[in-house]
Structures are given as structure tokens and as C-alpha cells.
Amino acid sequence: MNIPAGRKSGAGEFTACPKTSRPRGYIEHYNPQAKTRELLAQAQAVLDEYRQYWPLTCRQIFYRLVGAHGYDKTEAAYGRLCHHLANARRARLIPFAAIRDDGVTTYRRDHFDDKDAFLRHVRRLGQNYTRNKLADQEHHIEVWCEAAGMLPQLDDVAEPYSVKVYSSGGFDSLTAKKDLADRICRIEKPTVILHLGDYDPSGESIFDSVAEDVAAFVDADRRHGLITVQFERVALTSAQVRQFDLPTAPPKATDSRSKTWTGGTCQLEALPPNIIADILREAIERHIDFIQYGVDQASEEREREEIQTLLLAPPRD
């Protein structure tokens, strides 16, 4: 067996020799230049301003710096910002929880250390029992967003209504489209898909093609005519770009769809988090029957109490 080159750090343990000058792990002695400290102070001001919407994406911080602090609106400037934000997190100047820049996906497994761990889990489920507010609504609703890093803040808006939020990075994949159509047919009610994405030729084209493709699958596989699907472009729209005076860029010359595109393009994350939250909340509530919603809230409280009386508290360690 070939053992990679490295240095021995203990019995049977090896750590790889660094192959780069880039920081690894935490930065214990971080001493940025004055210009970098000024940039990080501005970034911290943005994080403080939108504290209730954490985690933010680096792109959201970038656009707020462009709009509020005159930061350069270039990809090179965005790259520098990401670099400095990463170092500031490694140096513990900015909480890791404040920014999300991952695209990690995993499978969930409900495995438990032992029987008591499982019983504690069940007890917590009872204490946090939440009724599916969509179960008795006329419409099934889902939210799809291009930017995976924005899912936590969008989920905060959608969760009270039991609306699930999905990342549509692979929105145009055949598997994703067929899975969505199958889910709609299985739920057997009119479905509304609320979509948030960039305002550009590719985003608009993909949205239209997905809407047509999913609708065709649903129409072919549905059990009855009451199963329908409606796609709504919640953000970003040309009207919103104008309304909020968002920064735009020319469409990519390499995109063949740009030939029929009029005006500039804009990324979703140019909208401040609070405005995105308000837009999404309003879009969800347009499809909610609030009389039924109130009934479900009352039932949830009663059922939570009933469930907790049925569950015996397991012994603690």
C-alpha cells in the first residue's frame, strides 16, 4: 500500500504536508490590511442589517455592498470579497452561521444509538408536533429557487405554511421534472410552483421549458382532471428590476438565447433578503385559505397536547 507523503503526528496518524499557501482550518493570527478591514466592516454591517435572514449568500452581501457602499460591481471584486469573507470566517471574525456557500446534498438516515435515544427522539417529535397546513388546502404549493444557498432564508418564510422549498440547480434535469410531476399526481390536487431565479435569457428559457414539460407529464399521468400544475415566476422579473433599480449587466454573448433578449440581465441575489422574503410570503399567501389555516392552527395545538400525554418521557442519561 502506498502511503501519501506527509508527516507523522502521532501513533498511526499522518497529516498531509501542505501543498498550497492557502489557509487550512482556523486562522489564529489574522492581520488583514487596512483596506481589507474596511471591506470586512462594511460586510459586517450588511450581516447586522439582515441578521434575521441568516445565512446570507456571498452574492447577496456583494450586491448590498455594491448598492450601499459603492463596491465595484465586477466578478473580480466579487472573487476578492469571497476570499476575504472566507478568511474572516476562518479567523472567527464572522460567524460561520452567517454565510452559506455550500451546495452539499446528502441522504437522511434516522438511525439511533440505542432504544433510549429513539424514545427521546419520539418525545421531541411530540413536543414539536406540527400539522401539515397544506393537507386541507385547495392547492399544493412548492417553492423552487436557483440559488441553493438561499434555501434556509426562503424556508423560514415558507415553513409556517408547510410549504417545502427546493433548490432548482438541476431544475432542467429530466429526473427532477419527472419526480415533480409524479409528486403532483400522487398528491392529487391543483399545484402551484413558485419559482425564484435570475433574470436572464437562460433562466427565462429554462423556466418556460420546465413548466411545459412538467405540465405535459402531469396531463399524461394524472388520474383525474382536478390534478393540475401552475408555474409562477415570483422573482426575478423585469418589473422588479425596474421597481427596485437593480444593477444589470449585458446578456452573455455566448448564450444563443441572447439574440432575442431585450435589455440587461440581473441576478436574484441583487434583491435584498427582506424584499425577497416579502415577495415570497405574499406569493404563498395568495393561494392560502386563511379560514382553513386558522382551523389547522387550533387543531395543531390540541393534537400536540394529546400526543404528549400519550408519550412516556424516557429516562435521561
pTM of the model: 0.82
* Confidence class for position 167, pLDDT limits 50, 70, 90: confident
303 has pLDDT over 90: yes
Lowest-pLDDT range, 65-79, 90-104, 134-148, 276-290?
Answer: 90-104
226 has pLDDT over 50: yes
* Res 253: pLDDT: 78
The mean pLDDT value of the chain amounts to 88
Q: What is the CA radius of gyration of the chain?
A: 24
What DSSP string describes 144-177?
EES-GGGHHHHHHHHGGGT-EEEE-TTTTSHHHH
* Confidence class for position 94, pLDDT limits 50, 70, 90: very high
Lowest-pLDDT range, 2-11, 62-71, 80-89, 200-209?
Answer: 2-11
172-198 pLDDT tens trace: 677 888 999 999 999 999 999 999 999
* Res 103: pLDDT: 65
CA atoms within 13 A on the CB side of 69: 16
Give me the residue label for grid cell 411545459.
Answer: 212
Give me the residue label for grid cell 425564484.
Answer: 196
4 has pLDDT over 70: no
82 has pLDDT over 60: yes
Give me the residue label for grid cell 452539499.
Answer: 104
* Res 9: pLDDT: 46
Residues 6+ apart with CB under 8 A from 173: none
* Confidence class for position 101, pLDDT limits 50, 70, 90: confident
317 has pLDDT over 80: no
Q: How many CB atoms lie within 10 A of CB 10?
A: 7
Stretch 208-225: mean pLDDT: 92
Stretch 288-308: mean pLDDT: 96
The span from the CA of 28 to the CA of 74, in Å, is 31
124-131 long-range Cβ contacts below 8 angstroms, 24+ apart:
126/304, 126/307, 126/308, 126/310, 126/311, 127/304, 127/308, 129/300, 129/303, 129/304, 129/307, 129/308, 130/162, 130/300, 131/162, 131/296, 131/297, 131/299, 131/300, 131/303
Residue 130 identity: T
* Confidence class for position 316, pLDDT limits 50, 70, 90: low
* Res 1: pLDDT: 40
204 has pLDDT over 90: no
* Res 45: pLDDT: 96
Give me the residue label for grid cell 428590476.
Answer: 241
237-252 pLDDT tens trace: 999 999 999 999 998 8
Percent of the chain clearing pLDDT 70 (strictly above): 89
139-161 pLDDT tens trace: 999 999 988 889 999 999 999 99
The span from the CA of 251 to the CA of 192, in Å, is 29
* Res 18: pLDDT: 52
* Confidence class for position 105, pLDDT limits 50, 70, 90: low
How far apart, in Å, are the Cα atoms of 138 and each of 9, 214, 284? 62, 20, 13
